[in-house]
Amino acid sequence: MEKYRIIKTSVDILLMVFIVLYILTGFGVTEYRIVESVTFSVLLKPVSHIIHSNLIIPFIALLIIHVLLSTKKSIS
C-alpha cells in the first residue's frame, strides 16, 4: 500500500507542476510582455508557444493516470 501512495503522490505533484507550466506558458503566449519581464526574458513568446504545444500529450497522460489511480482507490 505504501508503494501505491508514493506513486499517487508523485503523479499528483507532477500533474500540478504541468498545470502551472501550462497556465504560465499559455499566459506567455497571450501576454508575452508581462511574462518576459517577470521571467527575465527566459520565457520568450516563441519558447512559451513551443513548450505550451508540447505539454499537451504528457498533461493528458498524467491526467488519465491520476483519474485511474483515484478511481482505483474509491472502488476498493
Q: What residue type is assigned to position 50 of the chain?
A: I
In this predicted model, what pLDDT tens digit does every residue of 19-44 receive, in sequence order?
A: 999 999 999 999 989 989 988 988 89
Give the integer Cα–Cα distance in Å for 76 and 73.
Answer: 6
Q: Which set of grid coordinates corresponds to residue 47?
A: 519558447
Distances (CA, A) of 45 to 3, 5, 24, 41, 48: 40, 38, 11, 9, 5
* pLDDT value at residue 75: 63
pTM: 0.84
Phi and psi (nearest 5°) for 40?
55, 45
Please report, for the chain, the start and end positions of each structural domain, with discontinuous segments joined by +.
Answer: 2-70
* pLDDT value at residue 18: 96
* pLDDT value at residue 23: 94
Phi and psi (nearest 5°) for 39?
-95, 10
